[in-house]
Structure 1
Amino acid sequence: MTIAPFAPGAVDSRRTADMFVQLRRQGVDLERQLTTGRRADSFAQLGVKRGAALDLRARLSTLASFQTNVKDADLRLKLMLQNTQGLAQIASQTRAGALAPSSGVVGGGRPLEQIKAQGDLALAIDLLNVEAGGRHLFSGRTHDQKPVANYQTIVDGVGAAITQARIDQGANATDTGFLEVGPAAGANVTLSKTGAQGFQLESATSSSGAITIAPFGPGDPSATITVASVPAAGASFSVTLSLPDGSQETITLTATDSATPGAGEFTIGADEATTAANISTALGAAVGAKATGALAAASAVQASDDFFANPANWYYGDTQDPAFARSTAAVRIDEGRSVSVGAQANEQGFTRLLSQLAVLAADDFSDGDRARYEGTLSRVAGNLTPAASDQKISDVGIELGAAQSAMAGAVERHRASEAILRDQLGGIEEAPVEEVAAKLLALQNRLQASYQTTSLLSRLSLVNFL
């Protein structure tokens, strides 16, 4: 190693060279900023502002994750809302058709309401089995499993349940609902329960003292109708019976002088015993008609309800209590905030619709029994008019719609926050073209002036000066 000899001006020369190098480096950096639009190639080059930049980027990343969550859930929600609206429309149309049927029953054929119910049941099953992105939307947390059994499984199951229910309730063609009307014994006619199922005695009234009924109250196993005196034409009595589905039917018989009484009438006899015999005949026919009509319809509807009350018969989704179905899927949309977007096909509103469609689809109306058919339609219409405390399909749609609104609100907030954060980040990381160009021009002027000054000084000598 050698030590350079001291020479006047050597230090100044080195300083000048270092200044040119530094200015050149600044120029290269400004050219890079002008080309890339960024102040630095790494966070380290941002100096004390790198912490703020990293924090802003982390917050932007969090917003992006929330937006991704919302985007993924929004597609599912749109499908769920669309299908829920479709199910609500099916329920409304089925109820309207049941209240005002467009066709009767033709022996050997199927009524139009049944044909429509069969198609609607298949459609309802498809709507509840909808899938999006590998997730079944009405399965709760068991989203990899189709929630509802196929059409044939349900129709066969409900059909078998209806057949067995009519046997159990005494509601087949020649049955009387386990309620026997005995032959007249003098002026008395006995009405007796012969089985635990079927009709249940509820109450009785008489418009005339000529006919008395006792005892007669809810749960009584029998009652005696007594003709105390020959009634006048127009005198009547009524017997109210309760059915398995909780509904009631009333049989009213009116006294007539006609030897050929119509439905709901009995002929006034020459004495009390003859009148009692006529009452027995008319009451027996009326009970039989109610058994094969209203009781058969009530048994069918109740059998379908019982079938769907047991999820093992038809439902393969989440076993979570359907009252809390929304909580089976949550979407985090903001810091400390999530919305619930789950649904289960066994929720009360969906189950009610499937049950009513299934009883219409599975029952056999080919015998042309109008009373049974109309009784079934009447009960279906009533069941599709839920009480205020019962869940409706529209309630599900309202809850999902509220979740969608919350998500939309979150998206708007995220967009506003993102714009602010990106503006702040841009102030740290981005290099404005105008600012960089001005700095580059100023640097160029400095370099040019320095070069000119150095050139002049390099040519300056005592000889030239003299």
Structure 2
Amino acid sequence: MIVNKSMFPLQTGFSVISKMQDKFALLQMQLGTGVKAQTLSDMGRDLPLSLSVRSRLTTIAGYNSSIEQVDLRLSFYDNALTRLDEIEGQARNSAVQGQYGSNNINMATISSLSKARLDEMVTLLNADVAGRYLFGGSVTDKAPLPTTAELLDGAGGRAGYRTVVTERQAADLGALGQGRLETTITPALPALQTDPVTVSLTEDGDHPFGYKLSTVSAIGANIGVVSDFAASPANVDFTFPGDPATVAEGDSITLGFTLPDGTETQITLKAVSAANASGATGEFVIGDDPTTATITTATNFDNALKASLQKSAESELKAASTFAAGQNFFNAAGEPVLRVDGVDPYTATSLRVATKTDTVMWYSGETAAVSAVGMGRLTSARSGGEVTLTQNMPVSSAHGFQISSVTPEMTNAGAFTAVRNAGPPADMTVEFDSATAALAAGDKVTLTLTEPNGKTRDVTLTAVTGRAGPGQFTISTATVDADRDAENAANFEKAMLRSVTEAAAAAEGNPRQSVTAAVEDSGRVAYGMQANESGYLRMIRSMAAMTVETYPEIANAADPNSVDLNPAKQRFDAMARRQQLELSEGRNAERGSIELVTMELGVARAALQAAGDRHTNYKAQLDNLLSDVETVSKEDVAMEILALQTRLTASYQVTSMVSQLSLVNYL
């Protein structure tokens, strides 16, 4: 018998021992570190899962970093909006009609207080977080507003708000200080005392400045009143009868005017006898000389009318002009900055689009070129069976919709016409003509509107019978052609206004969407802010207006020691009333108000926190999964080491014994 090592292959035994030694080293590493492997290659079949989980955790870390940054910005917004709301309340309460303070202290200090509030607001809107300006939409590398000094006083030869106010007030008051209204007496000298005399009040042209005649009423039937407010320019004639009819004491005329900022005011002129005259501005004395009574009464009425216009112009009209200049200078989204056109503002007849070379641009952040407010600078008018949609003057290619084309489609030829006039300003006119042909269901008008960026939007209005839906207008069932045309026009205009406003809203977009942040795979938080939104804009306009306006007392010429109902107080009241209107709590529901913006940011913050909570929970799950894949139980490893150590010791002994095997030892 042959006895040798071939009975036990040593090479195989050494290999097994080597593997057990490697395993022992791995277990010792696992016991010391708690992880399964030190390199990715050692992960084996767990590698794909480990890489996938780690990739997901990295993504979540990125989202959490974004959430942290956005949360910081939202915290700043929250503090800024809280302070802006406080400023709004302070401004609203600082100027109240009739509250002038001791020795008119409120009138004396309101300008400086308003400037301080304006300056604080500009500072807040120009604030940055980590070098990122937050109130300019997606424009984050520069402050959205100039300094307060530049806004008010201009810079580098460019006009500021004070200059625009000065020009606008001159254009609104006119050279006579009567709000661009003129009077004439016809005839100047009647041939007979029985001849009537007419005082005519007329706007001095077709322009946006000064008083616009809107209403007239009379008490007493002795003064003839004929008005034509639809004329351009509008006019009113007051006819004073000759003997034997006379103007009676107590007869009065009340005139209503639309002011440049869109508000209304009125003046009243009352007839009094010479014995009862008090000298008040609104009184006119009835002539008592039979030979000149009519012309005297008319002349006194004319003088009282001029004096009343001038007095109102120093208070109501100037206040309205200051706020109108605020609308012109502090332009809203989709509107250009406007200034009085012409060398002499007193005789100006139009506004012009300001340029960056001659006027300070108050806002330089991101803004919409088309706004839903005002239908993208389009205005509608209707007369009988005709509807006109017109671009606003002055036309600006960088702001608002441009009317590009109009396409009519009809079943019965001649039922209506739809044409575009190139202008300027361009307009669209649709006229219904039932006498020629009947309007049929399915007839339509397609209006093409072009945005400043070149994008076009088609607005199609389709005629239907019965109830009209979006983009539709109801066909009239009236039996008389004229009535049918007028009703068709009214229905068409209603549908057009709704559809064009919707198109403008779509073009305007949402300021919140100007800045968004990805906070999860399928979710983004929108938190953009633009300083020209309506809430901030109203505050800036009103505080700038209150800053530049002053209230000097003007002595009564008839009594130098008194003040004629104190024109300064009247102007203060007019300014305070407008500021109250601009900053009214009733505007809180308007889009862009501070209150609505705060609510929208609250929704964004809630979405941000919800996403953060989801990431926290998901990360915990992934950490557990990764732990199962990449880590080990030290207790299990220790037990495995003990077992392996026993096997390894036994293997050492067996191998040692076999390696020494020989016939002598065997025997």
TM-score by length of 2: 0.62
The aligned runs of 1:224-243 (5 Å cut-off) are 224-228=237-241, 229-230=245-246, 232-243=248-259
1:384-437 CA distance string (max 9 Å, x none): 234855531222222222222211111111111111111111101011222212
Letter matched to residue 128 of structure 2: E
1:98 shift after superposition: 3.3
1:268-305 CA distance string (max 9 Å, x none): 55476354444333322211111111111111110111
1:190 corresponds to: 200
2:82 corresponds to: 85
Q: Which moved more, 1:358-367 or 1:69-78?
A: 358-367
Contact 2:588 2:596 in 1 (8 A): no
Distance 1:122 1:250 in 2: 35
Does residue 262 (structure 1) correspond to residue 280 (structure 2)? The answer is yes
Contact 1:202 1:216 in 2 (8 A): no
Q: Evaluate the alpha carbon distance shift between residue 6 and residue 292 of structure 1 in structure 2; reply closer, same or farther with a 3 A threshold.
A: farther
Larger RCO, structure (CA 8 Å, separation 6 or more):
1
1:143 shift after superposition: 1.1
The DSSP-based 3-state class of the residue aligned with 2:152 is helix
Contact 1:109 1:366 in 2 (8 A): no
1:327 corresponds to: 513
Contact 2:533 2:593 in 1 (8 A): no
Does residue 380 (structure 1) correspond to residue 579 (structure 2)? The answer is yes
1:198-243 CA distance string (max 9 Å, x none): 2122221112212332135354543222344445554432111121
Distance 1:117 1:236 in 2: 40
Distance 2:103 2:177 in 1: 23
Contact 1:104 1:370 in 2 (8 A): no
1:281-335 CA distance string (max 9 Å, x none): 3322211111111111111110111011146521222254475322222211111
Larger radius of gyration, structure 1 or 2? 1
Q: Which moved more, 1:95-104 or 1:353-362?
A: 95-104
1:293 corresponds to: 315
1:355 shift after superposition: 1.4
Distance 1:175 1:105 in 2: 31
1:255-274 CA distance string (max 9 Å, x none): 44523253544445547635
Does residue 162 (structure 1) correspond to residue 165 (structure 2)? The answer is yes
The aligned runs of 1:29-428 (5 Å cut-off) are 29-99=26-96, 102-103=99-100, 111-156=108-153, 157-170=160-173, 175-182=177-184, 188-196=198-206, 197-219=209-231, 221-228=234-241, 229-230=245-246, 232-256=248-272, 258-270=276-288, 273=294, 274-309=296-331, 310=336, 313-321=361-369, 323-367=509-553, 369-385=568-584, 386=587, 390-428=591-629
5+ residue gaps in structure 2? Answer: 154-159, 189-195, 338-355, 370-507, 555-567
Contact 1:293 1:371 in 2 (8 A): yes
Percent of aligned pairs sharing the same letter? 29
Distance 1:109 1:97 in 2: 8
Contact 1:141 1:318 in 2 (8 A): yes
2:350 corresponds to: none
1:17 shift after superposition: 4.1
1:52-107 CA distance string (max 9 Å, x none): 11111111111111111111222122212322332233223322333457536979
Matched pairs, number: 461
2:404 corresponds to: none
Letter matched to residue 325 of structure 1: P
Contact 1:162 1:363 in 2 (8 A): no
The DSSP-based 3-state class of the residue aligned with 2:202 is strand
Distance 1:181 1:446 in 2: 122
Letter matched to residue 201 of structure 1: L
Letter matched to residue 116 of structure 2: G
1:360 shift after superposition: 1.1
The DSSP-based 3-state class of the residue aligned with 1:38 is coil
Q: Which moved more, 1:46-55 or 1:393-402?
A: 393-402
1:83-133 CA distance string (max 9 Å, x none): 233223322332233345753697999633222210111111111111112
Contact 2:184 2:201 in 1 (8 A): yes
Q: Which moved more, 1:119-128 or 1:7-16?
A: 7-16
Distance 1:377 1:128 in 2: 25
1:178 shift after superposition: 2.0
Q: Evaluate the alpha carbon distance shift between residue 100 and residue 207 of structure 1 in structure 2; reply closer, same or farther with a 3 A threshold.
A: closer
Letter matched to residue 236 of structure 2: A
Q: Which moved more, 1:425-434 or 1:95-104?
A: 95-104
Q: Which moved more, 1:179-188 or 1:392-401?
A: 179-188
Distance 1:201 1:105 in 2: 38
The DSSP-based 3-state class of the residue aligned with 1:225 is strand
Q: Evaluate the alpha carbon distance shift between residue 6 and residue 396 of structure 1 in structure 2; reply closer, same or farther with a 3 A threshold.
A: farther
Distance 1:67 1:427 in 2: 24
Contact 2:248 2:271 in 1 (8 A): yes
Q: Evaluate the alpha carbon distance shift between residue 333 and residue 317 of structure 1 in structure 2; reply closer, same or farther with a 3 A threshold.
A: same
Distance 2:547 2:511 in 1: 28
Distance 2:81 2:324 in 1: 25
Whichever structure has more helix as a proportion of its residues is 1
Contact 1:200 1:218 in 2 (8 A): no
Contact 1:179 1:194 in 2 (8 A): yes
